[in-house]
Amino acid sequence: MLIIGFIGLGIMGRPMAKNLIKAGYKLIVYDKYAKYDDLVSLGAEGAASNREVASKSDVIITMLPNSPHVKEAILGENGVIEGVKNGAIVVDMSSIAPAASQEVGTALKAKGVAFLDAPVSGGEPKAVDGTLAIMVGGDRETFEKAKPILEKMGSSVVLVGGIGAGNVTKLANQIIVALNIAAVSEAFVLATKAGVNPQSVLDAIKGGLAGSTVMNAKVPMILDGNFKPGFRIELHIKDLQNALDTAHDLGVPIPLTASVMETLQALKVDGMAANDHSAIVRYYEKIAKIEVRK
């Protein structure tokens, strides 16, 4: 029986692991900071270290906040690389810098271990219902082996290129999402300040060219004043910093990304780092002195 190790059981990783258990996979789980008794109660086996997870698993999945956490979990002391078996597959589903993915992949290849970078989009709701969009970097053979597992967590699983390409694609995704939320925020603050009901605006434009998945997901939250995190502002800051760093290394100016990054930084200063990124609207509400609510 194929055994899957899962490292990183936060807002995203926990429901993803639960979906694998529901699909009938045997899981070995570990998180340095979070308890996972609920997963053990569902049939997973708890481990005491990243190394132990790797030593007992055929496929190891990591879902962690950023590049340093991934490198520590995989390459660090008591890390995956110390326990992983020759021929195993490591799939990092974190959103990290593409260069970090390539560094990890190179180190694992030297140990006879295949690697995929497979970041996701969709936030907590899609992690819960198993309909994430998963963008994968790596070789075709390894991708085909891992694809049935990934399909238990996502409704779209696409190989986009070699190692690092998954995270390049995720950076593109995060730029588009952040700018979309900012555009929606500007537009709905304008409409509300002009005295037009924001719910009516949503109903009128969501079926036209301006309509988007972002609008459909985030405007109802804004109208309810619900900024409970599905994807935290501090994590979007992390993603956009990786985007800016990567773009600068490649000589690609991304001025709109830099602008929305400063909006996110202002919200962080205002104590909203843990809010959902739909709280971008709060920046525009503050400077226009109006709230977009039902």
Side chain identity at residue 80, one-letter code: V
Is 168-288 a domain of CATH 1.10.1040.10?
yes
> Which of the following is catalytic: 170, 193, 238, 294?
170
- Give, in degrees to the nearest 5, the angle at Cα 148 between 118 and 162: 35
Classify domain 3-163 at the CATH topology level.
Answer: Rossmann fold (3.40.50)
Confidence class of residue 109 from pLDDT cuts 50, 70 and 90? very high
Instruction: Single out the residue of 7, 69, 81, 79 nearest to residue 44, CA to CA.
Output: 7
Mean pLDDT of 36-59: 97
Q: Can 71 be counted among the known catalytic residues?
A: no
Mean pLDDT of 82-107: 97
Q: Which two tokens stand for residue 10?
A: 């936060």
DSSP for 82-125 reads HHPPTT-EEEE-S---HHHHHHHHHHHHTTT-EEEE--EESHHH
- Range(s) within the chain of domains with CATH label 3.40.50.720: 3-163
- Range(s) within the chain of domains with CATH label 1.10.1040.10: 168-288
Q: Tell me: the pLDDT tens digits for 110-156? A: 999 999 999 999 888 899 999 999 999 999 999 999 999 999 999 99
Q: How far apart are CA 195 and CA 185, in angstroms?
A: 15
